[in-house]
Amino acid sequence: MLRIFKLLLPAIIPSWRFFDVIAASPRIQYVLLNKQSENLSEWQEYTARLRQLDSITILKRLFWNPHWNEYLFLVSCAERIIANLNLSTDIIDNHHSETEILKRICRALFSHKNSFDEEDMYLQFRLLMVNRDNTQNPAEVVFYSSAKSLTELQCQNGI
Amino acid sequence: MEFEQAYRLTQILTSLAFIQQSLEHIRRYRNEIIIFSLRIIFSLILLSGSYTGFSLIALFIIALLMLTRFQGPYNGGADRMSLLVLSCLCLVQILPDRYWQEVAFGYLALQLVLSYSIAGWVKLINPEWRSGQALSDVFEFSVYPVSESLRRLSGFHHLLVIFSWLVILFELLFPFSLLFQQSLIVALTCAAIFHFSNACFFGLNRFLWIWIAAFPSILWLQDRLVQHL
């Protein structure tokens, strides 16, 4: 009950400090691993951002924008993890955010599959911080998730 | 605008905003289907104008379930505004006295004004916003630009300075628009254009609809304040 109240309070008494400081921004990268923790692919950025958007698509997205809003939710989860790194008190919240990111990346990658050929395939993500000085080569990895098996994440049939 | 008229219009716009938000969820994940299907059903009931009290309370319970499900808002400020609008609509419904109903609805209008004026103030006191650097950073490395091609806008320094100051001045001056109905209508039109451009550039489509849903409250409050004075 106290937890719900804590979540509800910022909505009832909002701070409205939109974009007050443009701080370093998180990027989510993922990798597929096998059971021996060997990379089966390179680290790749997970993003819903396209290279170019035409005006019709932009207008359509005023009404239908699920992929982008999900991506912003995952960024929020990444920000929660980073905020908790120095606290280490809110383990539940970190676990939730980590699982949400893993499950949603998994679904985005494999939702078309009915079964996995490689039963021992694992998914891991890491978080990098991008700021004004390192937009091209974000170097600072601030978090590695645990590696979860794709079967465990059940990404074939939704979450 | 009369109280009943503004209150009903807020209900209609809120239910439409909730339907839009919820439709984005139900095609995605199995365990989100139930909660968001219920949200659509109760939004439709609210939209119809019957059982409004029942549907508002049901939508509030669903909002709490959503907060628990996502361990906070799914869509940041847009979800927080959704919850604020919903809370104020619920309070108006359950409070027995007209005076307190007006206080609850007025609180929504007040928060709408603060959503612009505080956002404007925090930008004004930040030298990076005043110099256009902050907006340049938003385009250059934040997660918000919807396409890679938009990142090129970070190089248009003079243009970004102008837009930064336009945003700061609009947000700071918004409370003064309450002096006259005409000025408020102009300010709300500017606000809708501002949210529309945020939706186009940064994909913040949910902000557009839920902020517009709160507009009737400020139109009513302005009318109420003018009558009082």
pLDDT tens sequence across B22-33: 999 987 677 789
Are B143 and A65 within 8 A, CB to CB? no
pLDDT higher than 80, residue A42 = yes
Average pLDDT over residues A121-133: 89
What are the φ and ψ backbone dihedral angles of B126, each rounded to 5 degrees? -100, 115
| Position with higher pLDDT, B85 vs A122 | B85
Chain A residues in contact with B67 by the CB 8 A cut-off are: 4, 7-8
Give the percent of chain A with pLDDT over 70.
82
Quick one: pLDDT at residue A112?
Answer: 63
Maximum C-alpha span of chain B: 56
Which backbone phi and psi does A48 adopt, to 5 degrees? -100, 5
Quick one: average pLDDT of B34-62? 96
- Residue B16 has a pLDDT of 98
Q: Worst-scoring range by mean pLDDT, A25-29, A124-128, B154-158, B224-228?
A: B224-228
A23/A17 Cα distance (integer angstroms)? 13
Chain B CB contacts of A58 below 8 Å: 146, 200
In this predicted model, which residue has the larger pLDDT, A126 or A6? A126
Q: Please check whether residue A2 touches B, CB under 8 A.
A: no
Q: How much is the average pLDDT of B149-174?
A: 95
Residue A122 in 3-state DSSP? Answer: strand
Q: Name the A residues in 20-49 with CB < 8 Å from any B CB.
A: 20-22, 24-27, 49
pLDDT for B158: 95
Residue for token pair 């869509």: B75
Q: Which residues of B touch A132 (CB under 8 A)?
A: 137, 140-141
Q: Is the pLDDT of residue A91 over 90?
A: no
Q: Are strands A122-130 and A25-33 parallel, antiparallel or unpaired?
A: antiparallel
Instruction: Give the three-class secondary structure for A141.
Output: strand
- Across residues A38-52, what is the average pLDDT? 85
- Is the pLDDT at A40 greater than 80? The verdict is no
In 3D, which of A141, A79, A83, A145 has the Cα closest to residue B144?
A79
CB within 8 Å: A49 and B146:
yes
Chain B closest-CA separation from residue A55 CA (Å): 9
Of A67-76, A132-141, B89-98, which range is least confident?
A: A132-141
Residue B226's pLDDT is what?
A: 86
pLDDT bracket for residue A88 (50, 70, 90) = low
Does A158 have pLDDT greater than 70?
no
Averaged pLDDT, B196-200: 97
Average pLDDT value for chain A: 83
Q: Is the CB of A70 inside 8 Å of chain B's CB atoms?
A: yes
Assess A5–B contact: CB distance below 8 Å, yes or no.
no
Kindly indicate the confidence band of residue A136, based on its pLDDT and cuts at 50, 70 and 90: low
Question: Is A19 close to B203, i.e. CB distance below 8 A?
Answer: no
In the predicted model, is pLDDT for residue A151 greater than 90?
no
B159 has pLDDT over 90: yes
Q: Which residue has the higher pLDDT, B229 or B99?
A: B99
- Cα-based angle A66, A67, A70 (whole degrees, multiple of 5): 85
Cβ atoms of residues B15 and B5 within 8 Å: no
Q: Supply the mean pLDDT for chain B.
A: 95
Contact state of B205 with A63 under an 8 Å Cβ cutoff: yes
| Residue A22 pLDDT > 60 | yes
pLDDT at A119: 64
At residue A137's C-alpha, the angle toward residues A136 and A140, to 5°, is 135
Out of A28-37, A103-112, A137-146, B177-186, the most confident range is B177-186
State how far the alpha carbon of B11 is from the alpha carbons of A156, B5, B50, B56, B82, in Å: 38, 10, 11, 9, 11
Give the model's pLDDT for residue B167.
97
pLDDT of residue A159: 46
Rounded CA separation B75/A74 (Å)? 10
Residues B134, A19 contacting (CB under 8 angstroms): yes
Residue B120 pLDDT: 96
pLDDT at residue B144, rounded to an integer: 94
**Cα dihedral angle (A38, A50, A93, B62), rounded to 10 degrees?**
-140
Across the interface, which of A12, A19, A49 has its CB nearest the CB of B138? A19
SS3 annotation, chain B: CCHHHHHHHHHHHHHHHHHHHHHHHHCCCHHHHHHHHHHHHHHHHHHHCCCHHHHHHHHHHHHHHHHHHHCCCCCHHHHHHHHHHHHHHHHHHHCCCHHHHHHHHHHHHHHHHHHHHHHHHHHHCCHHHHCCHHHHHHHHHCCCCCEHHHHHHHHCHHHHHHHHHHHHHHHHHHHHHHHCHHHHHHHHHHHHHHHHHHHHHHCCHHHHHHHHHHHHHHHHHHHHHHHHC
CB atoms within 10 A of CB B206: 26
Residues in chain A with CB shorter than 8 Å from the CB of B200 are: 58, 62
**Phi, psi dihedrals of residue A64, rounded to the nearest 5°:** -145, 100
Interface test with A, best of B83, B136, B143 (most A CBs within 10 A): B143
Q: What is the predicted pLDDT for the residue at A30?
A: 94
Tokens coding A55: 């005006």
Confidence at residue A7, expressed as pLDDT on a 0 to 100 scale: 87
> Is B194 a residue whose pLDDT tops 60?
yes
